[in-house]
Amino acid sequence: MAENMLKDVLAKYKIIPVLVLNDLQSGMERCRLLCENFLPVAEITFRTQAAESIIRQVTKELPQMFVGAGTILNVNDLHRAFDAGAKFAVAPGFNPVVVKEAIKHNYAFAPGVCTPSEIEQAYDLGCRFFKFFPAEAAGGVKMLGAISAPYKHLGISFMPTGGVTIDNAADYLAMPEVAAAGGTWLNKADGEGIRLAAKKAGLI
């Protein structure tokens, strides 16, 4: 399903900027800066009104960018994101209604999990790739190692976000079950900071 493709594509970028963008103009500037500095990927969160229009504009103006939507809390958000051109979507939590709708439309969607029960319920619906959120507050690398251990034979993988920074991203990326790690620090990073992340991700 689309979700497996998502895991493979995000694994190529490894570090995923989680963007909270307030308006179209500054949002596009941030996306251009990411592209110019070798990290052409982002989760643009639906925490702001501008998210949908930025995704639509990125799709037109920066087709090389692998742009997705974050903070997808309901079916309406899900459709708005993919109609705008999002190539993937994620959520902080596990909402079975959203997961089922994503599967029905073959949308690349990863729900958020941080407990074994959520993993099992989402797995049962067909999910194989999860956002692990809030990664650091939930116990970080140690917690992810512990909760994923019983499911190793299922071949599931994770994208941790929440407290991930340039300093600890490598610890997560060293785990075999981690495909990519995301964080909001790339909202503020300058070109050099973005290139540092791209370097850590092995993109340059």
| Annotation marks residue 100 as catalytic | no
Q: Binding marks (x or -) toward ligand 3PG, 138..157, rule CB under 6 A?
A: --------------------
* Count of positions on this chain that bind ligand 3PG (CB under 6 A): 12
The Cα–Cα gap between 177 and 145 comes to 8
User: Judged by CB under 6 A, does residue 107 bind ligand 3PG?
Assistant: no
User: Is residue 53 classed as helix, strand or coil in its secondary structure?
Assistant: helix
Using CB under 6 A, which of 82, 158, 161, 201 touches ligand 3PG?
161
Q: Which stretch binds ligand 3PG (CB under 6 A): 34-42, 98-106, 116-124, 162-170?
A: 162-170
Please identify, using beta-carbon distances, which residue of 106 and 115 lies nearer to ligand 3PG: 115
List of E strands, the chain: 15-19, 41-45, 66-70, 88-90, 109-110, 112-113, 129-132, 157-160, 181-183
70 binds ligand 3PG (CB under 6 A): yes
- Find all residues with CB under 8 Å of 67, minimum gap 6, and list them: 31, 41, 42, 44, 55, 58, 59, 85, 86, 87
User: Where do contacts with ligand 3PG occur on this chain (CB under 6 A)?
Assistant: 18, 45, 70, 92, 133, 161-164, 182-184
